[in-house]
Copies of this chain bind each other. A is one copy, B any other.
């Protein structure tokens, strides 16, 4: 498959790009608003993968070009950039493209981080509203700690809930998730269940902040 990671130059996008390039043979394409930055990061990831004995081609383009002809487009951008990112790539999407949203709306106060969804009730609902007619939206990867995900020398042992209304699109994301070693996808139902999944992220941040010795927290359901 061809996976485009919009916002693949930082944070969760970097980790997903590196893990898919390392653990699978899927084509990994980085997207950024700045194509030069995408190209530089793609080279940087290639160098890192080669240093681990994995010779892989990773490419970088402006978001629109990265999304064009991709089978799966991961919107690894902050929630407040989600709508304009989808609009910027809309021409390259059709009903065979799966849009994946890992973003969470949060606010911070003196006590910690709090779930702060957009008016539609969840970031996933915002993505579904922004998506062109017929393009399926799937939520996944909200609860992966970016630092550990991007550190290829660290083994993962995490679950990630996957949700969406289009069962085929959800199944595609489930299979892609299984291609990353140590990551177990779990079905969390439809888009209406998004808020419960997205709320997990501020909890993980609060727990990591309040407990000595815990950092880069993920979750296992058992």
Which parts of A193-222 form the interface with B (CB within 8 Å)?
Answer: 193, 195-197, 199-200, 202-204, 206-207, 209-211, 214, 217-222
Is A186's CB under 8 angstroms from B211's CB? yes
- Identical copies of this chain, number: 2
Q: Does A111 contact B (CB under 8 A)?
A: yes
Q: Is the CB of A157 within 8 A of B210?
A: no
The answer to whether B188 and A207 have CB atoms under 8 Å apart is yes
- From the candidates B111, B114, B187, B210, name the one contacting A210 in the complex (CB within 8 A): B187
The distance from the CB of A153 to the nearest CB of chain B, in whole angstroms, is: 17
Partner of A203, one of B190, B192, B199, B202: B199
> What is the size category of the interface that chain A forms with chain B?
35 or more
A112 interface residue (CB < 8 Å to B):
yes
Contacts of A111 in B (CB 8 A): 189-190, 192-193
* Contact present for A109 and B192 (CB under 8 Å): yes
Q: Does A20 contact B (CB under 8 A)?
A: no
Which residue of chain B has its CB nearest to the CB of A165?
A: B111
- Mind listing 21 A-B residue pairs with CB under 8 Å? A111-B189, A111-B193, A112-B192, A113-B196, A114-B195, A115-B199, A158-B222, A161-B203, A161-B207, A186-B207, A189-B206, A195-B199, A196-B202, A196-B203, A196-B206, A197-B203, A217-B221, A218-B221, A218-B222, A219-B221, A219-B222
CA distance A112 to B186 in the complex (A): 15
